[in-house]
């Protein structure tokens, strides 16, 4: 099995990343050490730090490490907006064929605007507009007069991710999968996804219910009545947008984990980015990355440790009332990590 090392230690790649990355990765190490998590870390660089030191935001040594371990926990990586190098996150997903991006959101702090949220977003992770087939057409002296992007969705890719979503629903006792698309306008690009959804849903009839929504209506309904949803499966860009919206339902980006899963490797991370506005201040919320580590424990068959980790996060926040600033508290990243470590 991927990531299985000698004895009961499991070798895994650890990437601190950019911005708040090193702070929340430190926090995760404090908690995972206290938990007695079985990971033996192979520390590797990626992102801005790697670009500066190794001249490449995704060094060969980092790729080689993940190829060997098949397992990584990763801090966020900064991607330049507009020009500059291509997203390292996207390159990692492509390099290891990480076709499924699993993003569960669950109420952690009760009594907020939305209570009892328990939703799972399954995002197609390799296709759509994220393929980055883009170019400009210059007109006169304006080199950026026209911008053109092409998206690519394949039937095989759509079938694979929709199967993954329905299988996930079966394995986790979920009742419904909602297929989200924009096939009224992008008739080919997202029509192929909807077609696959309708076909595959039939194979799960009687076990998992299928529902379909147009993405804009889905975005609104998530705000009005999120409890009508259960598992949502959608294309790459829509999944990117809806997963941030869903993180908002449970109190923000500091509370939402993500898993990038392929047949040969899996990379676990927070849904949020490198948060340059708060980097270096020691105030970032490490819960997203901690929950991602929980998904990583589930993935290697150590759900009992994952459950203990989730229980300790809940106890630190709700019983000990230790919270970072975004959760309405005053704890630093490290104080919060220590509070969780005491509870594991």
**Which residues are catalytic, by number?**
130, 182, 216, 240
H or E element: which one contains 77? none
| Distance in angstroms (rounded) separating the CA atoms of residues 46 and 2 | 21
For ligand NAI, how many residues bind (rule: CB under 6 A)?
20
Adjacent-strand bridge partners of 121: 103, 232
CB 44 within 8 A of CB 65: yes
Report the partner that residue 240 touches, choosing among Mg ion, ligand NAI, none (CB closer than 5 to 8 A by kind).
Mg ion
Per partner kind, with CB cut-offs from 5 to 8 A, the member of Mg ion, ligand NAI, none near residue 272 is: ligand NAI
Interface of this chain with ligand NAI, residues 247 to 276, rule: CB under 6 A: 253-254, 269, 272-276
Partner in contact with 273, chosen from ligand NAI, Mg ion, none, beta carbon below 5 to 8 Å by kind: ligand NAI
Which residues, 201 to 260, sit near Mg ion by CB under 5 A?
Answer: 240
Q: Following CA atoms 310, 312, 314, 317 in sequence, which dihedral angle do they give, to the nearest 10 degrees?
A: -140
| Closest CB to ligand NAI among residues 233, 279 | 279
| Contact residue for ligand NAI among 79, 125, 153, 235 (CB under 6 A) | 79
**Spatial CB neighbours of 293, under 8 Å, sequence gap ≥ 6:** 28, 31, 32, 37, 73, 268, 309
Contact region with ligand NAI (CB under 6 A), list: 70-78, 213-221, 224-232, 308-316:
70-78
Task: Please give the Cα distance from 238 to 203 (Å, whole number).
Answer: 25
**Minimum distance from residue 239 beta carbon to Mg ion (Å):** 9
Please state whether beta strands 100-106 and 118-124 pair in parallel, antiparallel, or not at all (unpaired).
antiparallel
Residues engaged in binding Mg ion (CB under 5 A): 240
Residues engaged in binding ligand NAI (CB under 6 A): 20, 76-79, 89, 253-254, 269, 272-278, 284-285, 288, 326
């Amino acid at each position: 099995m991927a990531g299985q090392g000698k004895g009961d230690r499991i070798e895994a790649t650890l990437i601190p990343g950019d911005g708040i990355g090193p702070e929340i990765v430190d926090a995760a190490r404090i908690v995972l050490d206290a938990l007695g998590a079985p990971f033996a870390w192979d520390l590797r660089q990626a992102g801005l730090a790697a670009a500066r030191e190794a001249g490449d935001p995704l060094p060969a040594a980092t790729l080689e490490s993940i190829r060997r371990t098949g397992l990584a926990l990763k801090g966020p990586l900064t991607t330049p907006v507009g020009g500059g190098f291509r997203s390292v996150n996207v390159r990692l997903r492509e390099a290891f064929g990480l076709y499924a991006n699993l993003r569960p959101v669950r109420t952690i702090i009760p009594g907020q605007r939305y209570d009892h949220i328990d939703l799972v977003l399954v995002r197609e992770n390799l296709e759509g507009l994220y393929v980055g087939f883009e170019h400009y057409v210059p007109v006169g002296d304006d080199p950026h007069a026209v911008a053109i992007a092409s998206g690519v969705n394949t039937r095989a890719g759509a079938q694979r991710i929709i199967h993954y979503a329905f299988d996930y629903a079966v394995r986790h006792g979920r009742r419904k999968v909602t297929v989200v698309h924009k096939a009224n306008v992008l008739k080919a690009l997202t029509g192929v996804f909807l077609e696959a959804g309708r076909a595959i849903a039939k194979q799960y009839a009687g076990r998992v219910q299928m529902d379909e929504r147009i993405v804009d209506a889905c975005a609104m309904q998530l705000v009005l009545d999120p409890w009508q949803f259960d598992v949502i499966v959608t294309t790459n860009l829509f999944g990117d947008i809806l997963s941030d919206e869903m993180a908002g339902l449970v109190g923000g980006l500091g509370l939402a984990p993500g898993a990038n899963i392929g047949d040969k490797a899996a990379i676990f991370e927070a849904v949020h980015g490198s948060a340059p506005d708060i980097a270096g201040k020691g105030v970032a919320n490490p819960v997203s990355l901690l929950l991602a580590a929980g998904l990583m424990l589930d993935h290697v068959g150590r759900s009992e440790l994952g459950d203990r980790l989730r229980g300790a996060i809940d106890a630190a926040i709700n019983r000990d009332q230790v919270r970072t600033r975004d959760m309405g508290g005053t704890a630093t990243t490290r104080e919060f990590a220590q509070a969780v470590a005491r509870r594991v």
